[in-house]
A and B are shown apart, each in its own frame.
Chain A
Amino acid sequence: MNVTKLKIGGVATVEKLCFDEIPLALMEIGCLPGNRIKIIQKAPCGCPIYLEVAGSHFALRAEDCKKITVKKTRNE
């Protein structure tokens, strides 16, 4: 599943990225396969999404989050 499907507080591991579409900047902040993602908050209407990825805190838009496939690890 992709990141937008995670609920607030949900934790997951990055499994796969659509390398053809993903902006380099996203990888540069540490959004790489194997790294931990935690959803901290979602703005009104679910976009953008405030998340912690590999320890960094960023807000990303839903359409960019869709390009990140994750595997859920646990709910908090």
Chain B
Amino acid sequence: MNNLNVLLVGNPNTGKTAIFNHLTGLNQKVGNYPGVTLDKKQGFFTLDCGQKITLTDLPGTYSLIPNASDEAVATEYLTAEKGHIDAVIFVAEVENLKRNLLLFSQVKDLGLPCLLAINMADQMQRKGIFINTETLSKSLQTDVILISARKKEGFDDIKSALKKVRSFDRSKFSDYYEKIDATYFNGLEKNGNPYENWLNIALTEQENKTVQKYLQKETIYRYQKINDILKNSYQIDREKARSIGAKIDKVLTHKFFGVLFFLAILFLMFQAVFTWSATPMDLIDEAFVKWAGWVSEKMPSGMLRDLICEGVIAGLGGVVIFIPQIAVLSLFIALLEEIGYMSRVVFLMDRLMRRFGMNGRSVISLISGTACAIPAIIATRSMSSWKDRLITILVTPFTTCSARLPVYTILISLVIPDKIYGGIFNLQGLTMTALYLLGFLTAILAALVLQKYLKVSDKKFFIMEMPDYKIPLLKNILLDVFQKTRSFVTSAGKIILALSIVIWFLSTSGGDDFKNAETLVKTSPTAQNLSDEDLQTAIASEKLATSCIGKMGVFIEPVIKPLGYDWKIGIALLTSFAAREVFVGTLATIYGIDSEEEIPIKERLAKERNPETGGARFDLACGLSLLIFYAFAMQCMGTLAVVKRETKSWKWPLLQLFGMGILAYIGAFITRWIVLFFS
């Protein structure tokens, strides 16, 4: 028996993805605002008769005439794959059935065999909704099934309906073409499906006035027919349907209290990221130091032991330690999405964001960019305005993503005193807050500049569904947190593992002067006055300076000297262009090579001296200048690749790489000189 190819199609916010998860058991995200189901997702399940099903979840759309690029996916897939589709499970929802049926009527007109699943049936009584499935089924010539993804009801009915997929009705929904303009539509291509032919014309000639007029008429006729059908089979008490949601919205979307609430949520979120994660982070830190100590005890000393203890374990520790913070951040974002609050944020912030050349949806990207820029950039697909979308993509990497946290945390703890001002304000915490604000502020200012200079023609139209509030499903949220955290650890882990091996290799090999380093130091006249310990340190640093990586660092040192960095920091900067969080691991590897004992990275860095000044290597000027550099620079290969994919051009990622790089350099330079001037 062949696999049956079944599609899930429907409007956004109908719980399509929850149904997909339940049917296939495949772990995936359920979103409450447009833009979560972005790519086609597939899963598999088997009916009890043994029939295997391949289920494809298409991104939600309101119509086959797409308004944004995430919506276009559904149209493209339906028309291109039409011949291979065995059935469509069309997902509607009890409260918005009328609007859902518009898309249903279009899918039906493509001649696809459909099954209508009306979700959230458990809410019908509370919302004052009545549906006569029998009458509805007859007038739509389609099987109608009431389901509840939340209560896990109705799935058996879907499965048994899929058994008789071959007998699904393929008749068209309507034949209004005659009513719009009989001569025009009769003149169209006769071969194939008439609606598909018309759809092709409508999509390629969207600017054509006649086409626009016909599309409008078509929509009116479709609604007329839907209204006629629903008259006999559907009732809703509009006041009851949103009674709870309306009360919440009175406050949460209020122009004053709503904004206040949003700011409070943001404050709570960032507060939680730091306070909730402090203890687990300390535990992880200790565990990794112990692990490295244990390994160095058990293994014979030598190159391999150094690689594992100083490169791999230290580098991985620098990533794993941020799991608590990323988990808390993802938890908040997932919770807000799941409840339906994100669309309220879009509503409240649209006006403000427009001033900066973006729109309300950009706020979602900027907030989720604090976890990671990659999903934040992908989420821009739900924007219908290309210019707004491009600007949002370009400025999102300025927001303080979780990869910057390792760098910020270690630099702040090195150069900012751990003092409390005014009883509650911890100076280190304030610096971190300031860096977050700097990220948002730079993003917004960059948008303002881009808005002026970007020459992109564009249609400006904004529409945002405000779905009813939902009680979040714990499973969905935890799954999302787990997936985001796992992808951070695995992707960062891979890069760090690879880079620490490369760096370690490069720092333990070199030319003749590297091989002669030991004898050179020992025979030098100053060596006689050194203690044994100092002699070892001198040998180790001479070795590092003459190694391959040392030569690379020394080569770029003139460029970064004005910023107050030496060649060792230069190496860390270079490797950070793969991913920012590599900074800590690289420094650990470089500095670990010339130290014998196992100590936390922070203490190791604090011990470093600047030979020119005799003071600490990481003093206030150097530390702040590095913080500014990392705040601005585009150091993430993953993000660059995604920007290339989303903008279909190298122009924009390169603009980010160089534009943000130049800004970082100038910013770091100015910061250093300001600090030096005042100290």
Contact = CB atoms under 8 A, between A and B. Distances in A.
A28 B99 CA distance: 8
A6 interface: no
B463 A26 contact: yes
A42 B204 CA distance: 36
A64 B359 CA distance: 15
A42 B573 CA distance: 48
Contacts of A29: 62, 99, 463, 465
Contacts of B350: 43, 47-48, 59, 61
A27 B98 CA distance: 13
A43 B348 CA distance: 5
Binding site secondary structure of chain A:
mixed
A52 to B, nearest CB: 8
Given A24-B215, A28-B62, A55 B223 contact: no
A25 B466 contact: no
B213 interface: yes
A7 interface: no
Interface string B367-387: 000000000000000001000
Nearest to B62: A28
A41 B63 contact: no
Nearest to A33: B220
A19 B213 contact: yes
Interface stretch (B150-158, B246-254, B309-317, B506-514): B246-254
A68 B502 CA distance: 64
Given A28-B219, A32-B223, A58-B463, A44 B255 contact: yes
B123 to A, nearest CB: 14
Interface residues of A, number: 31
A11 B241 CA distance: 17
A66 to B, nearest CB: 13
A7 to B, nearest CB: 13
Contacts of B595: none
Nearest to B464: A59
A24 B219 contact: yes
Contact of B63 (A28, A45, A52, A60): A28
Contacts of B493: none
Contacts of A54: 98-99
Contacts of A56: 96, 99, 465
A40 B95 CA distance: 17
Given A30-B223, A41-B249, A64-B462, A59 B96 contact: no
Contact of A28 (B102, B209, B468): B102
A43 B238 CA distance: 23
B174 interface: no
B360 interface: yes
B176 to A, nearest CB: 14
Given A40-B249, A55-B95, A59-B346, A48 B255 contact: no
A56 B242 CA distance: 11
Given A19-B213, A25-B62, A59 B466 contact: yes
B254 A41 contact: yes
A11 B337 CA distance: 29
Interface string A42-76: 11110110101011111111001000000000000
A16 to B, nearest CB: 13
B351 interface: yes
B426 interface: no
B67 interface: yes
Contacts, number: 117
Instruction: Bin chain B's interface residue count.
Output: 35 or more
Nearest to A54: B98
Contact of B255 (A30, A42, A64): A42
Given A25-B67, A30-B99, A57 B465 contact: yes
B560 interface: no
B425 interface: no
B216 interface: yes
Contacts of B657: none
B467 A57 contact: yes
B269 interface: no
A27 B226 CA distance: 14
Interface string B439-476: 00000000000000000000001111111100000000
B242 A50 contact: no
Given A44-B255, A55-B96, A27 B216 contact: yes
B419 to A, nearest CB: 38
B232 to A, nearest CB: 17
Contacts of B464: 48, 58-59
B236 interface: yes
Contacts of B348: 43-44
A56 B220 CA distance: 16
B95 to A, nearest CB: 7
Given A47-B351, A56-B96, A25 B463 contact: yes
A9 to B, nearest CB: 10
A24 B65 contact: yes
A60 B220 contact: no
Contacts of B219: 24, 27-28, 32
B610 interface: no
B463 A40 contact: no
B597 to A, nearest CB: 58
Nearest to B209: A20
A55 B216 CA distance: 20
A60 B351 contact: no
B616 interface: no
A48 B347 contact: yes
Contact of A48 (B241, B250, B259, B351): B351
A50 B212 contact: no
Contacts of B463: 23, 25-26, 29, 58-60, 64
B236 A50 contact: no
B322 to A, nearest CB: 35
B364 to A, nearest CB: 14
Interface string B200-217: 000000000100110110
Given A30-B223, A59-B466, 6 more contacts: A40-B253, A48-B360, A50-B466, A54-B98, A55-B236, A57-B467
Task: List the 7 closest A-B pairs by CB distance, nearest first.
Answer: A57-B466, A59-B464, A41-B253, A44-B255, A59-B347, A28-B63, A25-B67
30 contacts: A20-B209, A23-B463, A24-B63, A25-B63, A27-B216, A27-B220, A28-B102, A28-B219, A29-B62, A29-B463, A30-B102, A30-B223, A40-B253, A41-B253, A41-B254, A44-B256, A47-B351, A48-B360, A48-B462, A48-B464, A52-B242, A54-B99, A55-B95, A55-B236, A56-B96, A59-B343, A59-B462, A60-B463, A64-B462, A64-B463
